[in-house]
Amino acid sequence: MTAAQLSLHKLPESWAWTRIGDIAETVTGTTPSKKDPNNYGDFIPFVKPPELDDSIIDSAYDNLSEKGAKLARILPPESVLVSCIGILGKTGINKMRVAFNQQINAVIFPNGIVPRFGFYYFQTLEAREWLNKISSATTVTIVNKSKFDTTPFPVAPTNEQHRIVSRVEELFTILDAGVESLKKVKAQLKRYRQAVLKYAFEGKLTEEWRKTQEHQMEPATRLLEQIRQELQQKWNLEKKGRYQQPLLSDIKSLPKLPPGWCWASVDELSIVVRGASPRPAGDPRLFGGNIPWITVGPLTADEQPYLRNVHETVTEAGRNVSRYVEPDTLLLTNSGATLGVPKITLVGGCINDGVVALLHADYPLKLYLYYFLKSQTRRLRYINQGAAQPNLNTGIVKAIQVPVPPSEEQEQIVSKIESLFTKANSAEMSVVRGIRISESLKQAVLAKAFRGELVPKDPIDEPADKLLERIREERTKSKGEKDTDKKKSNPKQLELSTYVK
């Protein structure tokens, strides 16, 4: 590859382009067998791609034992680790010796190349775009060691590298402090929303409004009796068999409610049914028709009250062994890590067995129930059922106790929640924009840094071409010594001695 082909952009006269494999030692990691638990222990951190987040590595989720370390590739401190499968180009730089797996290529820089200079270069957009350009065209993007070695690398004079690293870290510290503040605001907004919901269902949001409406609203007990009668009528019209009386609330152990409110179980407010999943999954006789297939994924994809579209479908045969719900039905996820998430589907379709439907809940109660169930998500996830997989069976859902205000107050509560949430959402969007701007500013800093525009030049600095010449001479000398050593030692032992420092 010629100098012109290597050049991704113009460099200052004292800089030079080279290939990463021409100046540094690159290593692909390995994974000791997990079939032997003795390979894992507490001897040395074992780094995997999820732990590469463009920061310093001082620990890892997994650790190898001394036995496992002998089967691994070990990096000395100040090596640069780069993810080369899946999401390409995520980086880390280690403070201590670490082992790493085969999804990572690591770079051990020679004298004259500041490791953190390389660490920051691999965070640039151009480095990541290069890795994506040379990746193998498979279902999972991958860059093997030989392709990784071709990565163009801009070399600055060593002293200038130090100045660049110092300035980048100074600016990143300022930007990171701003991002940290924004993340705290985001966390505060989450707690704010939870507080809004708590106050809403304690009657505090409408406390002043309620004082102006005394003696003008029917108590919720009358509404509840009307709902019970309507549910029984709908049950009978649908000919579902003998009607079962709903579970009544035991109010003795429940908190006192504001005047005009009453407690009611979900079973008293709706008809609770569970979804069903056609089996076997993916069978073309059951899936791929024109009937929407509503699963947990789209229900938990965002924080919006309404589900407006789905991408999966079932056939008529699939519908016959599932459960179809009409548009405008209140749903609740009921299993796994994402249980307890409510959603009102505007799409008529079949629901799977990870979802329950609360049928015949009408407005304004439907939206009121949506926000109430949203306030209960955390509590529902901690219900101990003695099972490994969390699950809300229909019995648990039916027994959920709901503080029910009169219809007029339900509308007021929903209106106040949505108004306060709109303000919180607007603030959160500003926070997210701020975080994105910070990331853009980081990339702008890196772009200037690796074009030689971030710090002043010093005419007494040794130019990069002389540094590269010295590195090549040292690599040639080192290779000759290794070739001699190979005749005297076991190849595997030589490989380990190279990386275990």
More confident residue, 488 or 448: 448
Side chain identity at 251, as an amino acid letter? I
Q: Is residue 185 part of a domain?
A: no
Please answer whether residues 107 and 101 qualify as being in contact, where contact means their C-beta atoms are separated by less than 8 angstroms: no
323 Cβ contact list (under 8 Å, min separation 6): 273, 274, 275, 276, 350, 351, 357
Q: What SS3 state is found at 173? A: helix
* Per-residue pLDDT band at 239 (split at 50, 70, 90): low
Q: Is the pLDDT of residue 361 over 80?
A: yes
Q: Is residue 339 part of a domain?
A: yes
Q: What SS3 state is found at 401? A: strand
pLDDT of residue 497: 38
Kindly state whether residues 250 and 108 are assigned to the same domain: no
Per mean pLDDT, which range of 134-138, 201-205, 314-318, 333-337 is the poorest? 134-138
Closest CA to 319 of 346, 274, 350: 350
pLDDT of residue 457: 95
Q: How many residues in total does the chain contain?
A: 501
Q: Which of 386, 405, 424 is the last residue of a domain?
A: 405
Over residues 242-249, mean pLDDT: 68
Q: What is the DSSP letter of 51?
A: G
Closest CA to 257 of 412, 399, 402: 402
Per mean pLDDT, which range of 205-209, 415-419, 497-501 is the poorest? 497-501
Kindly state whether residues 127 and 229 are assigned to the same domain: no
CB environment 106-129: b (16+ within 10 A), e (fewer)? bbbbeebbbbbbbbbbbbbebbbe
pLDDT of residue 495: 40
CA end-to-end distance (rounded Å), the chain: 33
Q: Is the pLDDT of residue 137 over 80?
A: no
Kindly state whether residues 135 and 14 are assigned to the same domain: yes
pLDDT of residue 5: 58
Kindly state whether residues 466 and 401 are assigned to the same domain: no
Q: Is residue 205 part of a domain?
A: no
pLDDT of residue 491: 41
Kindly state whether residues 389 and 249 are assigned to the same domain: yes
Over residues 271-286, mean pLDDT: 93
402 Cβ contact list (under 8 Å, min separation 6): 263, 264, 265, 266, 269, 369, 372
**What gap in Å lies between CA 372 and CA 395, rounded to an integer?**
18
- What is the number of alpha carbons within 13 Å of residue 23 lying toward its C-beta? 27
* Per-residue pLDDT band at 215 (split at 50, 70, 90): confident
Kindly state whether residues 145 and 271 are assigned to the same domain: no
**What gap in Å lies between CA 56 and CA 237, rounded to an integer?**
66
Tokens standing for residue 65: 């034992």
Over residues 344-360, mean pLDDT: 95
Please answer whether residues 141 and 85 qualify as being in contact, where contact means their C-beta atoms are separated by less than 8 angstroms: yes
Over residues 437-447, mean pLDDT: 96
Closest CA to 358 of 320, 392, 312, 321: 392
For 324, list phi and psi in degrees, rounded to 5: -90, 135
- The per-residue pLDDT for range 40-55, each reduced to its tens digit, is 999 999 999 999 999 9
* Per-residue pLDDT band at 501 (split at 50, 70, 90): very low
pLDDT of residue 499: 41
Give the bridge partners for 403, in sequence order.
Answer: 263
Kindly report the pTM of this predicted structure. Answer: 0.77
- The per-residue pLDDT for range 280-300, each reduced to its tens digit, is 988 999 999 999 999 999 999
Q: Is residue 13 part of a domain?
A: yes
Q: Pairing between strand 342-345 and 313-314?
A: unpaired
pLDDT of residue 234: 84
Q: Is residue 65 part of a domain?
A: yes
Over residues 267-279, mean pLDDT: 94
Range of the domain at 276: 218-405
Q: Is the pLDDT of residue 364 over 70?
A: yes
Dihedral in degrees, nearest 10, Cα atoms 384, 395, 323, 386? 20
* Per-residue pLDDT band at 427 (split at 50, 70, 90): very high
Please answer whether residues 123 and 85 qualify as being in contact, where contact means their C-beta atoms are separated by less than 8 angstroms: no
Q: Is residue 440 part of a domain?
A: no
Kindly state whether residues 384 and 235 are assigned to the same domain: yes
Per mean pLDDT, which range of 381-390, 394-403, 449-458 is the poorest? 381-390
pLDDT of residue 352: 95
pLDDT of residue 384: 57
More confident residue, 249 or 397: 397
More confident residue, 309 or 481: 309
Kindly state whether residues 148 and 288 are assigned to the same domain: no
Q: Is the pLDDT of residue 363 over 80?
A: yes
CATH code at 124? 3.90.220.20
CB environment 40-49: b (16+ within 10 A), e (fewer)? beeebbbbbb
Give 333: exposed, middle or buried? Use CB within 10 Å, 0-12, 13-18, 19+.
Answer: buried
Q: Is the pLDDT of residue 104 over 50?
A: yes
Q: Which of 405, 421, 449 is the last residue of a domain?
A: 405
Tokens standing for residue 342: 């409510």
Q: Which of 372, 390, 405 is the last residue of a domain?
A: 405
Count of beta carbons in the 10 Å neighbourhood of residue 270: 26
More confident residue, 252 or 72: 72
Kindly state whether residues 384 and 279 are assigned to the same domain: yes
pLDDT of residue 490: 46
**What gap in Å lies between CA 308 and CA 293, rounded to an integer?**
13
pLDDT of residue 6: 64
Over residues 400-425, mean pLDDT: 96
pLDDT of residue 493: 35
* Per-residue pLDDT band at 492 (split at 50, 70, 90): very low
* Per-residue pLDDT band at 12 (split at 50, 70, 90): very high
Which uninterrupted H or E stretch holds 411? helix 407-449
Q: Is residue 62 part of a domain?
A: yes
Q: Is the pLDDT of residue 410 over 60?
A: yes
Count of beta carbons in the 10 Å neighbourhood of residue 443: 13
pLDDT of residue 8: 77
Which residue, chain included where needed, has tokens 């938990």? 300
Task: Count the domains in the chain.
Answer: 2
Kindly state whether residues 237 and 386 are assigned to the same domain: yes
Which residue, chain included where needed, has tokens 């509308």? 411
Over residues 14-18, mean pLDDT: 96
Whole-number mean pLDDT of the chain?
90
Kindly state whether residues 398 and 469 are assigned to the same domain: no
Per mean pLDDT, which range of 8-12, 66-70, 263-267 is the poorest? 8-12
Q: Is residue 30 part of a domain?
A: yes
**What gap in Å lies between CA 169 and CA 188, rounded to an integer?**
28
Q: Where are the beta strands (DSSP E) in 250-359?
A: 262-265, 271-274, 287-294, 306-307, 313-314, 323-325, 329-333, 342-345, 349-351, 355-359
Count of beta carbons in the 10 Å neighbourhood of residue 211: 9
Kindly state whether residues 378 and 478 are assigned to the same domain: no
